Structure 1
Amino acid sequence: MRKMSALLYPLISLGLVLLVWHLSVRIFSIPDYLLPAPDAVFAALSQGFADGSLWPHIATTLSEIAVGYLAGSVLAVALGIALAESKTFERFVYPLLVALQAMPKVALGPIILVWCGFGMASKIVLVTLVCFFPLFVNTVNGICRTDKELLDTCRAFSASRLYLLLHVKLPSAAGDIFSGLQIGVSLALIGAVVAEFLSAQSGLGYLIASSSVNMSLSTMFAGVFLLAIIGVCTTQLVRSVKRKMVFWENGDR
């Protein structure tokens, strides 16, 4: 029943939004070139799925997100552990990482295109950069907030530094790491779409940009709708994994 309720409430909210959208278009006679009705958007979705034109765009965007998100997450956790465990590494590397984060990723896009080309590699690099920093910061903060008394107790029993990292610090930081993963998966979607806006031959971002040239708002809204679905599904997937792996933080919820 709890799972059914968790699914039912968002569906009710979505239904209300669609109803208000539909009534607003009809009552105020808003033209299709400004705001298409929901049925026109769903018709564009149905046609795109039926003729197979949407599937390559979805596959491209999902591939960019998956590879870039995985690369950014692995790199963020690895560098976060290294920085939290080594003061020397922190002094040398942390200012450079902060400077990299301060650079607008959209401004780096043309440079990445020159270096990596116009294929999928440039999109993956941009996604990696976008989703890297939130997880990196959460990893560092989570490890640094490990209970000092617990660490001292383990050291009193001659626990090695590697044992402390694997069995004390990382489990303690797991909640923060998964919070960074949830933020990163949303940013990965944004990074993929921005990269496709800059230069692409396929992808949902490319579909939206190319549809704007033809003023096909129903197709543009269909692309945005698919991006929203991907964002919700990926976020819920990360949350589900967190509930399974960091079960001690679930409480009574």
Structure 2
Amino acid sequence: MSNLSFSAPATAPLPQPATRPGRWLSSRAAQSLLLLLALLAVWEFGVRVFNVPKFLVPPFSDVVAALWRGLAAAPMAKDGLWFHTAITLAEILLGFFIGSGIGLALGVAIAQMPRIEAVLQPYVAAFQSLPKVAVAPIIIMWLGFGISSKVAIVCMLTFFPVLVTSIAGFKAIDPDRIDLLRTLSATPWQIFRKAKFPSALPYIFAGLDMAASFAVVGAIVGEFVGAQAGLGVLILQMDAQMDTGGSFSVFIVLSLIGIVLTALLRRVQQRVLHWMPVESRRTVTA
């Protein structure tokens, strides 16, 4: 009698549900993209229908053409976008990291030594209320038309948001957590590392988010006051030639720089604050 072996019938893979177009259209990214396309269409056809002069508001197609000419230029061409973007981006990044680093370091020092806050509070309030744009010509006069003066202006604009938010974050910690760590014989450094700094991180990232946008503004203001190269200089040159389309193309580049910086900060925030609920992160950032 032969042994009969029965094999189980192969199970067919379950059909995957097809992605419905309505689900994609309901996403936030799709809605933002559709809104952008609608605004660009209104811009393009509205300017042409109402015969708006190009030196006032150019059609979006002219802005795209100017952006393409700037990007198609050689990397070191003085009339292209690459050369000036590299200089402005260097000013933004250097000023952002230096100013934010100094602000965070001073905020940590104040958190560890509260007496310093009482001594520095009047000076911080005085310098924070000082109009930074009004000080820009003096900084240009001190440091010259090179990159150092623009970095100093960006540092001044990015320093205060990080300092103020970090101080607020260190003060927002629950005192019961500190008392609990002290009952466990924790050292001041352990209290800072285990309780104070993690509690202040959402506030610090909120300050960094504001500092990123201020860094772009500071670099352009410094280049408006006095510079030899940069996107601010390129805007002034195009305005003198009444090339409004070219000026708008530079605005797009500046917007993209701000978007990329903010996106990178949000990505770092997600990785660092992975333990924190998303709703709490958005509340503090807002």
Name the TM tier (shorter chain). Answer: over 0.9
Decide which of 140, 144, 148 is 1:121's aligned counterpart: 148
Summarize the alignment of residues 132-211 of structure 1 with structure 2, pairs less than 5 Å apart: 132-211=159-238
The answer as to whether partners of 1:135 and 1:184 remain within 8 angstroms in 2 is: yes
Percent identity, aligned pairs only, is 38
Q: Check 1:3–1:185 CA distance in 2 against 1; reply closer, same or farther (3 A cut).
A: farther
The answer as to whether partners of 1:139 and 1:176 remain within 8 angstroms in 2 is: yes
The answer as to whether partners of 1:243 and 1:250 remain within 8 angstroms in 2 is: no
Q: How many residues align?
A: 253
The CA deviation string for residues 45-95 of structure 1, in whole angstroms up to 9 with x for no partner, is 101111131101110111001000000111011111112222321122121
The answer as to whether partners of 1:154 and 1:164 remain within 8 angstroms in 2 is: yes
Summarize the alignment of residues 14-33 of structure 1 with structure 2, pairs less than 5 Å apart: 14-33=36-55
Q: Check 1:111–1:251 CA distance in 2 against 1; reply closer, same or farther (3 A cut).
A: closer
The CA deviation string for residues 190-214 of structure 1, in whole angstroms up to 9 with x for no partner, is 0011011011121111111111111
1:9 aligned onto 2:36: no
The structure having more radius of gyration, on CA atoms, is 2
Instruction: Measure, in 2, the Cα distance between the counterparts of 1:174 and 1:3.
Output: 34
Distance apart, 1:249 and its partner CA: 2.3
The answer as to whether partners of 1:123 and 1:196 remain within 8 angstroms in 2 is: yes
1:96 aligned onto 2:118: no
SS in 2 for 1:233: helix
1:75 aligned onto 2:97: no
TM-score by length of 2: 0.84
Distance apart, 1:23 and its partner CA: 1.5
The CA deviation string for residues 110-133 of structure 1, in whole angstroms up to 9 with x for no partner, is 111122111000000000000111
RMSD of aligned residue pairs (Cα, Å) = 1.8
* Unaligned runs of at least 5 residues, structure 1: none
SS in 1 for 2:275: helix
* Unaligned runs of at least 5 residues, structure 2: 1-18, 75-79
Regions of 4+ moved over 3 Å: 1-7, 250-253
Instruction: Measure, in 1, the Cα distance between the counterparts of 2:271 and 2:31.
Output: 23
AA at the equivalent of 1:131: T
Decide which of 69, 83, 96 is 1:47's aligned counterpart: 69
The answer as to whether partners of 1:75 and 1:132 remain within 8 angstroms in 2 is: yes
Distance apart, 1:12 and its partner CA: 1.8
Decide which of 41, 56, 78 is 1:34's aligned counterpart: 56
Distance apart, 1:10 and its partner CA: 2.4
AA at the equivalent of 1:175: P
Greater helix share, 1 or 2? Answer: 1
Instruction: Measure, in 2, the Cα distance between the counterparts of 1:74 and 1:162.
Output: 20
Distance apart, 1:240 and its partner CA: 1.2
AA at the equivalent of 2:50: F
Instruction: Measure, in 2, the Cα distance between the counterparts of 1:126 and 1:45.
Output: 28
TM-score by length of 1: 0.95
Instruction: Measure, in 1, the Cα distance between the counterparts of 2:225 and 2:194.
Output: 44
